[in-house]
Structure 1
Amino acid sequence: MALKETLKQKIEEHRPRTTRLVKEFGKVIIDQVTIDQCIGGARDIRCLVTDISYLDPQEGIRFRGKTIPETFEALPKAAGSDYPTVESFWYFLLTGEVPTQAQVDEVVAEWKVRQEVPQYVFDAIRALPRDSHPMVMLSVGILALQKDSKFAGFYNSGKFNKMTAWEYVYEDAYDLVARIPVIAAFIYNLKYKGDKQLPIDPSADCGANFARMIGQCKEYEDVARMYFILHSDHESGNVSAHTTHLVHSALSDPYYAYSAGLNGLAGPLHGLANQEVLDWTIKFQEKYCKDVEPTKELVTKALWDTLNAGQVVPGYGHAVLRKTDPRYTSQREFCLKTPGLKDDPLFKLVAMIFETAPGVLMEHGKAKNPWPNVDAQSGVIQWYYGLREWDFYTVLFGVGRALGCMANITWDRGLGYAIERPKSVTTPMLEKWAEEGGRKF
């Protein structure tokens, strides 16, 4: 309960800031909208608020003001590990404070109570055709949890109070982030291991427990911790985070909201990209360097062949970033310090592409950002540890992304954010304003 009390204090301290901005400065102009932004998916329009994370074009993601290396350095580590627990990171995302070890221990203990998944959730997933995509299974599993939503129960009780509504979102959000790794492990074993389920390890933190539930090795426990933290949030404008916020803004409970967010994450322009990058990399290896070392000369020629054939280099470029994605760098560093992995042929190819592709893409001249994003590296690590069912990779992404999405909507309710309702215009309106040189206010 200490985490909830800390969060309550912070929400109450923050509310006057939001209220003052709306009342005293609500008409201050902070941006302008162009026709290409209107037609082009509202790109770069500053109209969302989150203090959970911010994506800087040059330095990448900051979680609660800290860079990825600063976050990993500051948070208490899992026993015997160089990486923080997911539970400590959850505390950090919610409060903006680095927890003490005692506070982490409290969260870990509460997490273990909350992670028990009702049987009806597993029954709902099992009722799906076994060849359903694992993201469909995950979305259905999260939606099945809605039956016992504490926020929905509070809203329907006739005692709804917008000042305390966040407390019930918090309860659902906490349940969801604790249970989603268990549901993901169940889906993995159901689809790929003949439904041979492994039990929760009550002694393990979230990352270690997930690794053990899917039958992975000790080393993979750090992979899970790192992966879930790195994929947790990327400010509010990406599809999964924005969809979750949008659906919850209608006071739909966290289960409705995150199920919708997962459905957006499943798209090939979002979370599915890591699967596509790995597929491309393996085919690249097979075609150009199956039995030879991936030298710079060989990879340079192969990349030019790819570009000259009208194809792209997947995993390179980002909608916001203009430098190497720090999430890529963190995973690369993990590979370089892990015996066996640093000498893995697929990683060596990815490493050589990293050394080569930016220069080729800059010379080619068509890429705004020639640097790698998170997807250029993440699949290789999973592949090395034997998790080769790459249609499951987006599920791993979804487990991590739940942390940021649930922290965000808890704060959305804490600060009483309004239902999201942007204004649409017609094509004739745009054509008229284009002829007139802009809309006349």
Structure 2
Amino acid sequence: MNKRVDYTILGNLAILAKKNNLTNPEVYAFIKEVSKLDQDMQPSILELLSDLAKKNNFIQPEYYDKYNVKRGLRNSNGTGVLVGLTEIGSVEGYKLEENKKVPAEGQLFYRGIEIKELVSGFQREKRHGFEETTYLLLFGALPTRNDLENFNDLLDESRQLPAGYTENMILKIPSKDIMNKLQRSILVLYSHDETPDDLGIKNILRQSIQLIARFPTIISYGYQAKAHNFDNKSLFIHPPQRGIGTAENILYMTRSDNQYTKTEAETLDLSLILHAEHGGGNNSAFATHVVSSSGTDTYSAISTAVGSLKGHKHGGANIRVREMILNIKENVSNIHDRGKLKDYLLKILRKEVFNKEGLIYGMGHAVYTKSDPRALLLKEKAHELAIEKDTVDEFNLYKNIEELTIELFKEMKGKDVHIAANVDLYSGFVYEMLNIPPELYTPLFATARIAGWCAHRIEQIVSDQKIMRPAYKSVHVHKNYIPLNERM
């Protein structure tokens, strides 16, 4: 018999005792104590409703196979269900041979240009590339020098927030979660737009450019408000600067002294580029397509994408990596001893330690098999920044985790099994070296990915006006209505 039932019975006995022993002081004390225990142990209305909701919203797993449901919009061979067409981005991590996935080196294309080629292009010219990448994603072509200058001017003109917005929207109603603050802030911008519901491409482009430009300002100010109100830190609000671009503005606005090095700016710029787009099938881009197909406004569509990215299964992976690294440091006596590190990683995989989910965060990907091109590029830049920051030992820890995880998977599952580091393994480390607080990790992801979201929204509206309306098979059992006084 459980405690809840025990105390309910005691409560009934207490009532009986009270009835038959009205003058006994000890009984009063007993009644008081038992009543308190009974009240504490009784389920609340919300708990009862929660149990009911769980019971009546559980679908038997065998039904998914019976009706050939593509759970997670994935085919049985692990590939994604084809639901649309896009020219914006392409993720290639395997080949299909006889309907089976065959591992391959990963490739990421932005408008048909391979990401390594795109990055090496602006790196050779020793300049930042996020704005150029954003232009490419939005308009489908690389900008000329004059195009890029004009586009940068448009972004600079839009970085400032509307009058009174910073005080009223950000400082007066801070949030502990910057993604929550970002999502609310986007929706409030609707009220500052004279034509928020105009679905003409010219108007959507204006809105998109303004949002792309304002995201760095919103997340920077949102973090300052959070740090001041919840962490008792000094408040400083730096206005965005013209002519320095997105990455440098983020560093400028989030640091009290506005100072940063060339390598720091280059590293953050690269991180933004690598997170800017990842095909139409990723959760937040797909959410943008779905919501945009309904004919809603830009602010609603982009806030939906932010809500999707906020989920720990999508945008918060680098935070999980950081938590795992901290746990490893706490529990491995010598993190530079590869043998001890490997032993602990094995315990993580066996669900014995850390969060007991059996995952080594930052390793593996839904599409990439042999390699994630974003991880390769960011790893190289991370090493360069680590040399500048004198944190090469820390870099080697991440590198060892990558190499040892690959070894463990081959030992446990066979030499033909492939797993590779994904971009999240090194992005959190990069942000840590940049002294960016963890609260801004996912908002930075959003600040990069909005370029892709806006591109996908425009593509949806231009190319496919049909509202997305997939099918769900009902598996309910027919029931008759029961009058209120007859229900049990």
TM-score by length of 1: 0.80
CA contact (8 A) 2:175 2:222 kept: no
Cα separation, 2, equivalents of 1:369 and 1:185: 39
Residue in structure 1 matching 2:318, options 274, 278, 303: 274
Cα separation, 2, equivalents of 1:50 and 1:296: 44
Cα separation, 1, equivalents of 2:68 and 2:252: 46
2:416 paired with 1:385: no
5+ residue gaps, structure 2, are 1-63, 75-79, 94-103, 228-232, 478-488
CA contact (8 A) 1:83 1:225 kept: no
2:361 paired with 1:314: yes
CA contact (8 A) 1:317 1:373 kept: yes
Cα separation, 1, equivalents of 2:418 and 2:389: 28
Distance of aligned partners of 1:111 and 1:131 in 2 relative to their CA distance in 1, 3 Å threshold: closer
2:104 paired with 1:55: no
C-alpha offsets along residues 251-270 of structure 1, whole Å, 9 cap, x if unaligned? 11111111111111011101
Equivalent residue, structure 2, for 1:199: 239
Q: Which structure has more RCO (C-alpha within 8 Å, separation ≥ 6)?
A: 1
Helix, strand or coil for the counterpart of 2:251? Answer: helix
Residue in structure 2 matching 1:132, options 161, 168, 176: 176
C-alpha offsets along residues 385-431 of structure 1, whole Å, 9 cap, x if unaligned? 222x31321000010010100111122222243211112213479xx
Distance of aligned partners of 1:314 and 1:265 in 2 relative to their CA distance in 1, 3 Å threshold: same
Cα separation, 2, equivalents of 1:327 and 1:391: 22
Residue in structure 2 matching 1:297, options 339, 350, 363: 339
Helix, strand or coil for the counterpart of 1:72? Answer: helix
Equivalent residue, structure 1, for 2:113: 66
Cα separation, 2, equivalents of 1:183 and 1:140: 10
Cα separation, 2, equivalents of 1:322 and 1:60: 10
Cα separation, 2, equivalents of 1:303 and 1:220: 31
Distance of aligned partners of 1:151 and 1:371 in 2 relative to their CA distance in 1, 3 Å threshold: farther
Cα separation, 1, equivalents of 2:287 and 2:197: 23
TM-score by length of 2: 0.73
Equivalent residue, structure 1, for 2:69: 38
CA contact (8 A) 1:53 1:233 kept: yes
Counterpart mapping for 1:140-179 below 5 A: 140-149=184-193, 152-154=196-198, 165-179=200-214
TM-superposed CA distance for 1:76, in Å, is: 7.9
2:396 paired with 1:352: no
TM-superposed CA distance for 1:305, in Å, is: 2.1
Cα separation, 2, equivalents of 1:120 and 1:246: 33
TM-superposed CA distance for 1:369, in Å, is: 5.1
Cα separation, 2, equivalents of 1:352 and 1:131: 37
CA contact (8 A) 1:125 1:140 kept: no
Helix, strand or coil for the counterpart of 2:72? Answer: coil
5+ residue gaps, structure 1, are 1-32, 156-164, 430-441
C-alpha offsets along residues 231-282 of structure 1, whole Å, 9 cap, x if unaligned? 1111111111111221111111111111111111011101011111111112
> How many residues matched?
381
Per mean C-alpha deviation after superposition, the further-off stretch among 143-152 and 316-325 is 143-152
Cα separation, 2, equivalents of 1:118 and 1:99: 29
CA contact (8 A) 1:75 1:84 kept: yes
Equivalent residue, structure 2, for 1:180: 215
Cα separation, 2, equivalents of 1:84 and 1:226: 8
Cα separation, 1, equivalents of 2:153 and 2:181: 28
Cα separation, 2, equivalents of 1:415 and 1:335: 39
Cα separation, 2, equivalents of 1:415 and 1:95: 14
Per mean C-alpha deviation after superposition, the further-off stretch among 218-227 and 47-56 is 218-227
Helix, strand or coil for the counterpart of 1:337? Answer: helix
CA contact (8 A) 1:277 1:315 kept: yes
Cα separation, 2, equivalents of 1:111 and 1:49: 29
Distance of aligned partners of 1:365 and 1:150 in 2 relative to their CA distance in 1, 3 Å threshold: farther
Letter in 2 for 1:71: L
Cα separation, 2, equivalents of 1:114 and 1:349: 41
TM-superposed CA distance for 1:47, in Å, is: 0.9
Cα separation, 2, equivalents of 1:76 and 1:149: 37
Equivalent residue, structure 2, for 1:328: 375
Distance of aligned partners of 1:170 and 1:153 in 2 relative to their CA distance in 1, 3 Å threshold: same
Letter in 2 for 1:337: E
Equivalent residue, structure 1, for 2:423: 374
C-alpha offsets along residues 330-373 of structure 1, whole Å, 9 cap, x if unaligned? 11000222323474333221011112111202322299752111
Cα separation, 2, equivalents of 1:321 and 1:302: 25
Cα separation, 2, equivalents of 1:248 and 1:283: 41
Helix, strand or coil for the counterpart of 1:41? Answer: helix
Cα separation, 1, equivalents of 2:66 and 2:139: 38
Distance of aligned partners of 1:303 and 1:37 in 2 relative to their CA distance in 1, 3 Å threshold: farther
Helix, strand or coil for the counterpart of 1:54? Answer: strand
Letter in 1 for 2:72: G
Equivalent residue, structure 1, for 2:44: none
Cα separation, 2, equivalents of 1:127 and 1:36: 51
TM-superposed CA distance for 1:73, in Å, is: 2.4
Helix, strand or coil for the counterpart of 1:109? Answer: helix
Cα separation, 1, equivalents of 2:303 and 2:164: 17
Q: How high is the sequence identity, in percent, across the aligned residues?
A: 24
Equivalent residue, structure 2, for 1:426: 474
Cα separation, 2, equivalents of 1:102 and 1:75: 16
Letter in 1 for 2:382: C
2:458 paired with 1:410: yes
Per mean C-alpha deviation after superposition, the further-off stretch among 230-239 and 55-64 is 55-64
CA contact (8 A) 2:197 2:296 kept: no
Cα separation, 1, equivalents of 2:142 and 2:290: 29
